Structure 1
Amino acid sequence: MTSANLTRDETAARARTIRLDTVEVDLDVRDARDLAVQTFPTTATLTFDATTETTWIDFIGASVESVTVNGAPRDVEWDGARIRVDGLQAHNVVTVRAHGRYSTSGEGLHRFRDPVDGEVYLYTQYEPADARRVYPVFEQPDMKARWRFTVSAPDGWQILSGGAETGRDGVPGGVRVGFAETLPLSSYITAVAAGPYHRVEGVWDGGGRPVPLGVLCRASLAAHLDADEILDITRRGLQFFEQAFAYPYPWGKYDQIFVPEYNLGAMENPGLVTFTEAYVFRGASTAAQHEGRANTILHEMAHMWFGDLVTMRWWDDLWLKESFADFMGAHAAVAAGGFPDAWVTFASRRKGWAYVQDQLPTTHPIVADIPDLEAAKLNFDGITYAKGASVLKQLVAFVGEDAFFRGARRYFADHEFGNTTLPDLLSALESESGRDLAAWSRAWLQTSGLSEIAVDRAADGELVLTQTDPRPHRLTCGLFSLVDGRLVRQGGVEVDVFEARTPLAGETGRDVDLVLPNVDDSTYAKVRLDARSTDAAAAHLSSLDDPVARAVVWASLWNATRDGDLPVGRFVDIVARHATHESNVALLADALAHTHLAIGHYAAADARGTLADAWLQTCWRALWQAAPGSDAQLAWARAVGAAAARSAARADEIHAILDGSTPAPAGLALDPDLRWAWLIALAATGHASPEDADAELAADPSAQGHVAYRTALAARPDAAVRAAAWHAAWEDSSLTNDHLAATIAGVRAGDRRDLIAGFDDDYFARIRPTWASRSIEIARRLVVGLFPSSDSLDDVDAWLAGNDDAPAALHRLVIEQRDGLARDLRVRAAQPAAP
């Protein structure tokens, strides 16, 4: 373990001896527009009390010029990650002058040059521990400080931090801006952004306490920024959360900035929330995309209380903010955001993510054991977010919504600006609900894995609910019968489940065609349909009126396919039959994505080509039959792009639409993103040339266009082309995070295993040195993105056996990729023989 990988124990020991008060940061990015300049001056002054004579300050950068302790200069003792500080007194003022490095990986201070206009943009991203890449800090969540930022930058730029601007002065080569001191914050949620960002301003009248609002993006994206919708969601959310939590928004202003080459969906920095600019829709967008953006806006807003006002002590309790924000994002989208189907999307998309993660051998409890920062980085997963949100939804039902929000209010009042652990939250909820939550916590927060719920139909017609890995559930089984060709709900049985078998008293299945456990998606469990119910769903799924019930059925069918219980061919047939009738575009998009994945991963080798051709034909017909300009039409158009990367059956028609010799379907917005998706698909099958890609880039010279262009060139089905892309991914350290992802996508395009199988040995030789030499974000993309999809587990098993001393985070990633490959091979082997 390197000194950069901070451990829970050593940071806890540091927190016991240091009481941090303030941190003053002075950044100078006036030279940022000169890309030859790789570093920037940074100065931090930390004021704190100490009961120790020696400690360390965290900093990962280019150099440390000086360290001053209580006015006295000290020798610089810096190992590249930690600055040793000694001679401490009861009260201390320590100033460190250093140089940080501009980032192209999305970690620390990221620098981006817009190819459209040549402008340079900066923003920070720190979670869990990258503030130390920008200024010297005590990098742990339980050492909060009041922060004062000063930033020098080129004149004419937007210059932002979490606090409000308090003044600016001209300095040689730019302007120097000061910001108001913040309330106590952990280092990982401080933030800075600078550049010629386009800004739209607004205000929220918070009960006579106006909160300034701002929405920002790159200047070249300004025409696509629907700021009015974003501001509307923001006002609705602030109103809702202030009332729900009975605690005024504490951070002053509320800026939201959409930034390029972002590694996450968003980050909750108080006063300066950052989002991926994928939420700035350049072309056509579906209702589900707008719902997803609103959900993310509200998720980050919930963090202003859950996570920022009250923060977990260490990353074990990451769920104390992420599970709550994930739950609150959907809850607020329904209650205040204007998106009544948000829980439908949650049932399909977020829970689907959790179910996959919870079946891996590396699954963990929601309250996880996180010994160090590398483990923390990989814990931002489907369990911490979506499983945690799922069980919180059940907890709200268990204690009652009013009691839950009263408990949250007590939690904020008791722990404002502090740090907490699980017992602190449970105590607040127990006090307000009168419920003992110890058993609930043990069953849901402190265990791993998931139950599989099904209904057995006994010979006498009795219905018995079964579950594996028994847990307490309160759920409803929906009972549906076929009436005039439609599945009509005839009732339901609400039941408390604790054991492996629970009879559904008074109910028989003689006249029930579909028994749907967890029909309202109230609990967290994998649902398995019995044979008769599967047949009913296969024939009549689209006749179900309730979108939540359809979401549960779609999820059950997909899980059965992933487990090898439902043949891939039958799943594809079900999607082909019912997806054209699916009115919820999020469910439609998920069904299409799952079909693409099923064909590529789970279909038997001798059936894959036939399935791929047939699926492309299905997508093509559905595209032309969809209502012009509808969300469904756009979803099917995107599915055509995915399917055409495997099958060339419609290559000529697609090419003709792109070059304008054949009209596109009426109403289809053939925007740059869709054009690139289709062109990349053609490139993957050898039906698009570098000249085609050049022409597309000339038409769309945006940053997104340059990323897609890189994928299109690397996707060509030529062994030499794929080899060059393979080596570039591993060896070209100048690739930004987005350009690396684009290169990896080209290497893997079209599932052309035959073009890259020769690199399997190279992969296993590279991953450990890469983990040691590259940032964790870049190394993770390489380890996951280029894992060999071979026909055997021998190579990965040999690596695991020979590298049991590898860093734990790397070991976890390889184990997870092995599990995915093992599932692929197992499910393929379970497919019925071709007729």
Structure 2
Amino acid sequence: MVDTLERYAPNENLRRDEAAWRAENITWHSAEVQLDLTNATQFSATSYTSVTTLNFSSACTETFIDFIHESVEEVLVNGTAIDLSAAVLDSRIYLDNLLTDAPNTVTVTGHALYSRSGEGLHRFVDPQDGETYLYTQFEPSEARRVFACFEQPDLKTSYRFTLTGPSGWHLASNQPIVDEVFHDNGTKTVTCSPTPPISSYITAVLAGPYHVERGEHIQELPDGEQLVIELAATCRASLAEHFDGPEILDLTSRGLNYFHELFDYPYPWGKYDSAFVPEYNLGAMENPGLVTFTERYVFTSHATEGQYEQRGNTLMHEMAHMWFGDLVTMKWWDDLWLKESFADYIGTLANDEATDFTTAWTTFAARRKAWAYVADQMPTTHPIVADIPDLLAADQNFDGITYAKGASVLKQLAAFVGADAFRDAARSYFRKHAYSNTSLEDFLQALETASGRDMRQWADAWLKTSGVPKLKVTYSTDDQGIITQAQLSQFGTDPVTGQPIVRPHVLSVGAYTLRDGQLVRTGSSQVELVTESVALDFLVGHKVPDLILPNDGDETYALIEFDPMSRTTLLENLSGLSDSLPRATCWASLWDAVRSATLDAQSYVEALLAHAHTVTDAGVFGVLTDQLVTSISKYVAPELRAELRSSAADVLTGWLTKFEPGSDQQTTTARTLTRLARAGVAGEVIEAFLGQQPNEYQVTVDEQLLWNSYIALAAAGKLDTEAETKMHEAAKQNPTSIALNAVRTALAARPIPEVKENAFDTVLMARDEKGELSNDALSATALGFAMGSSSLLAPFEPRFWAAILPVFETMSMEFSTRVIEGLYPGHQDLDGSIEQNQALAAASAWLEENAQAPTALKRILLEERDELERSLNAQAFSRTSR
């Protein structure tokens, strides 16, 4: 704990002990935020006026306020201007001589910077019509980039926003507008009603000529009263023709009905706006009353059912946050899982039960859990309840463990205590802790009261340990092949503690028999596995099934190590497994075996080519085609790739005409072919996509497929002068942000040393000849740079290692992460032994030589190195398995 206020710079990285000290001494009563955005359309303007008035009580005479600024013009403390040279130090404003016997009023007047990184107040100029759009993104600690505040989740207050901008703009914040004044100079000022107490990171501002569609949700409350919630859905004006606003409003209304019933606590935030914004760093953010979403959910090309389902899941995830996270908030980022895991689990539950989507849990098993399994096997894995000493650590904890593993564990918890007990615990949790902050202990108490079970052992086993448990069935048979004994075991080692993984599981085990090409479930049993093993008596006395599937209903968080017969059955007969959820579970465990170098990648590719086309779930089919490309490009031995890639291209080209024209499967197959074609295969298909339409494959070439095809042409070294001219003409005719970023990727993808040199420098500096890049433009260039052979990109590796520390120290977290991950030499061909790989050796050497580097930077590099090492191990296993 901090004893006295330490003054130092740089000081953006707020420490947990500093936040705890401030929370002990500060009670924040209210905040008035005034932002003047009238100069936003003048792109030469780098900043805007920000005036914040904070009213708070203090138990000591000194504290500090957070404000990342361009300038500070004045700070008034209880009406008196203070010496800025003594008070303003880096991103903090230090205050002395505060009142301890009465509230203090502090007004900070300054200029905050417009952002291009997606952090703070992001400014975007639409290339189609030249209009300017603004939105904010604050989690975990970027509100201080816009206004002065106490930037920590456990200092909640009521905010009132006053916004000034062009009179034709849509101006919005968390609460409804209560006053609007038009000025003679063509601007207007709107004042929003005060918010209930919330944390700074979920405040929000939206400004620009947004297209707005409105609706209304009317909820009948238990006491007979009606709760009326005004709804809005917004997007850029140039996207309005593609925007299915009524569908968004309908999903929102369905979700509100569902969550009111589930939580038995009325929606507390007045209105509900859903804003789809450009160049967004996240999928969405749960700002109460003004939820922001990536505009990738405004589909300008054919959207598969899987894409719509994912959007619906995101919408429900953010709505769950209105209670888990916004109404009740974690005290510090250690308990980030208290909101993200719950939202991931309950959001999927709502998508399954409150919408028309029927495969939400299947997609969760195939996509979200897969993310968790990857993260939990990294050297940077951590318990769900993590140790977060500062904001840099918090920024990187938005990972597959906090979200998807936590959600998987909560799904297991609901099976463990019962769905009713879980629901009742949530209800009492909201009623007891509304508008306050909590920790793990608070929710465990609610669970114990509702279920009558001691939750401490469960929490210790699941929330405070790391690593993926694995499940395996073993059995003995007699001379006739009849099972005489069978058991289900869990095994694995916690990579943090080195202790065996033993966790309580409630799950089902299925037995399947192959009949006429179909895998038919012929036996099933629910078991409670609380120690290392449990008997499977339902198998005894029967012949060995063709497939024994632990976690048959995907109830728990665990990977499966199949017995030899089951693995062979799956690889040869996966199309015979018709039930979508166990099928997704099987695919996920086989994929992990490829990544763990226990199943050769070529066998998995062959299974994909033989069976993936029978998967009708659009979301899972998309996952499998992604794995097909990744297997060939990263996990197959280099000498096997050309033949496998050619075979895959031939098979997928056949799928194009096999699938119904315009279907989700055909669309996904066409997009996958463009990714394979980056290496030079399927050239005739790409020519057809870019040629006279309609094409011979009856594939509709929409915006996404068009630009994927140009990128493939460029990466394959076939973007000649004529093709490049046509590409630029297409972008000029329809200059969307998608088109312009695709052109960046295509130009950087050309396999020419001088091109790679320019792309490398552009990404490294986050600038091109026109000036600073936006977040998306930077990533688009990096994506193209990475599309090259390891030999072509090898000369840049020494420069990469020399540059990463300065990049991390001089750029924001978002930009530095995009630069380092984008330029990391992660695609390597195994030549000789793994120990001889120069990129892997360089990564290890850098980490050893820079032991004092920021932990957040080392985490990025550790994860990139681990993924590279996995790919090399998989290539080695692929080679020996030929």
TM-score bucket of the superposed structures, by smaller chain: over 0.9
Residue type matched to 1:715 in 2?
A
Show the 5 A alignment for 1:741-760: 741-749=779-787, 751-760=788-797
- Residue of structure 1 equivalent to 2:5: none
CA displacement at 1:459 relative to structure 2: 4.4
- Residue of structure 2 equivalent to 1:572: 605
Show the 5 A alignment for 1:477-626: 477-508=509-540, 510-626=543-659
- Residue of structure 1 equivalent to 2:190: 177
Give per-residue Cα distances to partners, 1:436-467, cap 9 Å, x unaligned: 11011001011111111111233443332222
Show the 5 A alignment for 1:687-766: 687-689=718-720, 690-733=724-767, 734-749=772-787, 751-766=788-803
- Preserved contact between residue 76 and residue 82 of structure 2 (Cα < 8 Å): yes
Aligned with 2:866 (options 810, 819, 823): 819
- Preserved contact between residue 458 and residue 464 of structure 1 (Cα < 8 Å): no
Corresponding residue SS for 2:539: strand
CA displacement at 1:318 relative to structure 2: 0.3
- Residue of structure 1 equivalent to 2:320: 302
Give per-residue Cα distances to partners, 1:629-652, cap 9 Å, x unaligned: 211111111111111112x23213
Aligned with 1:472 (options 504, 512, 520): 504
Q: Tell whether 2:293 aligns with 1:283.
A: no
Q: Tell whether 2:778 aligns with 1:768.
A: no
Q: Distance in 1 between matches of 2:659 and 2:791?
A: 36
Give per-residue Cα distances to partners, 1:240-260, cap 9 Å, x unaligned: 111111110000000000000
Show the 5 A alignment for 1:185-584: 185-207=198-220, 208-460=226-478, 461=483, 462-468=485-491, 469-508=501-540, 510-584=543-617
Show the 5 A alignment for 1:112-131: 112-131=124-143
Q: Give me the TM-score of the superposition, normalised by structure 2.
A: 0.93
CA displacement at 1:539 relative to structure 2: 1.8
Q: Distance in 2 between matches of 1:106 and 1:13?
A: 30
- Residue of structure 1 equivalent to 2:24: 16
Q: Distance in 1 between matches of 2:718 and 2:655?
A: 23
Q: Distance in 1 between matches of 2:650 and 2:732?
A: 31
Q: Tell whether 2:77 aligns with 1:39.
A: no
Corresponding residue SS for 2:555: coil
Residue type matched to 1:747 in 2?
F
- Preserved contact between residue 456 and residue 530 of structure 1 (Cα < 8 Å): yes
CA displacement at 1:664 relative to structure 2: 4.7
Aligned with 1:142 (options 154, 177, 202): 154
Go from structure 1 to structure 2 and tell me whether the alpha carbon gap of 1:494 and 1:438 turns closer, same or farther (over 3 Å shift).
same
Residue type matched to 1:51 in 2?
A
Corresponding residue SS for 1:489: strand
Residue type matched to 2:681 in 1?
A
Residue type matched to 2:162 in 1?
T
What fraction of aligned residue pairs are identical, expressed as a percent? 46
- Number of equivalent positions: 832
Residue type matched to 2:783 in 1?
A
Q: Tell whether 2:795 aligns with 1:777.
A: no
Give per-residue Cα distances to partners, 1:538-566, cap 9 Å, x unaligned: 22211222100100111111111111111
Go from structure 1 to structure 2 and tell me whether the alpha carbon gap of 1:470 and 1:31 turns closer, same or farther (over 3 Å shift).
same
Q: Distance in 2 between matches of 1:457 and 1:758?
A: 54
Corresponding residue SS for 1:102: strand
Corresponding residue SS for 2:652: helix
CA displacement at 1:833 relative to structure 2: 4.2
Residue type matched to 1:476 in 2?
S
Q: Distance in 2 between matches of 1:556 and 1:160?
A: 46
Corresponding residue SS for 2:537: strand
- Preserved contact between residue 14 and residue 55 of structure 1 (Cα < 8 Å): yes
Go from structure 1 to structure 2 and tell me whether the alpha carbon gap of 1:506 and 1:182 turns closer, same or farther (over 3 Å shift).
closer
Give per-residue Cα distances to partners, 1:282-318, cap 9 Å, x unaligned: 0211111111101000000000000000000000000
CA displacement at 1:815 relative to structure 2: 0.8
CA displacement at 1:477 relative to structure 2: 1.1
Give per-residue Cα distances to partners, 1:455-488, cap 9 Å, x unaligned: 1233443332222122211111110011122111
Give per-residue Cα distances to partners, 1:35-85, cap 9 Å, x unaligned: 000010000000000111111100111011111000011011222210111
CA displacement at 1:321 relative to structure 2: 0.4
- Preserved contact between residue 351 and residue 390 of structure 1 (Cα < 8 Å): yes
Q: Distance in 2 between matches of 1:163 and 1:434?
A: 40
CA displacement at 1:329 relative to structure 2: 0.9
Give per-residue Cα distances to partners, 1:370-424, cap 9 Å, x unaligned: 0000000000000000000001011111111111111111100100000000010
Q: Distance in 1 between matches of 2:82 and 2:544?
A: 84
CA displacement at 1:736 relative to structure 2: 0.3
Q: Distance in 2 between matches of 1:412 and 1:429?
A: 12
CA displacement at 1:703 relative to structure 2: 1.2
Give per-residue Cα distances to partners, 1:765-824, cap 9 Å, x unaligned: 111111000000010111112111343421011100110000010011111111111111
Unaligned runs of 5+ in 1: none
CA displacement at 1:832 relative to structure 2: 3.9
Bigger drift between 39-48 and 611-620 goes to: 611-620
Q: Tell whether 2:694 aligns with 1:686.
A: no
- Preserved contact between residue 211 and residue 240 of structure 2 (Cα < 8 Å): yes
Residue type matched to 2:815 in 1?
I
- Residue of structure 1 equivalent to 2:496: none
Residue type matched to 1:198 in 2?
H
CA displacement at 1:501 relative to structure 2: 3.4
Give per-residue Cα distances to partners, 1:268-289, cap 9 Å, x unaligned: 0011000000000002111111
- Preserved contact between residue 693 and residue 713 of structure 1 (Cα < 8 Å): no
Residue type matched to 1:765 in 2?
A
Q: Tell whether 2:93 aligns with 1:59.
A: no
Aligned with 1:72 (options 76, 80, 102): 80
Q: Distance in 1 between matches of 2:234 and 2:538?
A: 59
Residue type matched to 1:165 in 2?
I
Residue type matched to 1:78 in 2?
V
Corresponding residue SS for 2:88: coil
Q: Distance in 2 between matches of 1:506 and 1:245?
A: 39
Aligned with 1:164 (options 154, 164, 176): 176
For the aligned residues, what is the CA RMSD?
1.3
CA displacement at 1:173 relative to structure 2: 4.2
- Preserved contact between residue 453 and residue 527 of structure 1 (Cα < 8 Å): yes
Q: Distance in 2 between matches of 1:721 and 1:664?
A: 34
Corresponding residue SS for 1:264: coil
Q: Tell whether 2:104 aligns with 1:92.
A: yes
Q: Distance in 2 between matches of 1:794 and 1:817?
A: 13
- Residue of structure 2 equivalent to 1:29: 37
Show the 5 A alignment for 1:651-662: 651-660=683-692
Bigger drift between 818-827 and 264-273 goes to: 818-827
Corresponding residue SS for 2:42: coil
CA displacement at 1:434 relative to structure 2: 0.9
Q: Tell whether 2:702 aligns with 1:671.
A: yes
CA displacement at 1:228 relative to structure 2: 1.3
Corresponding residue SS for 1:365: coil
Q: Distance in 2 between matches of 1:318 and 1:656?
A: 49
Go from structure 1 to structure 2 and tell me whether the alpha carbon gap of 1:502 and 1:403 turns closer, same or farther (over 3 Å shift).
closer
Q: Distance in 2 between matches of 1:9 and 1:297?
A: 35
Bigger drift between 309-318 and 786-795 goes to: 786-795
Corresponding residue SS for 1:206: strand
Give per-residue Cα distances to partners, 1:311-363, cap 9 Å, x unaligned: 00000000010000000111001111221210000011000000000001110
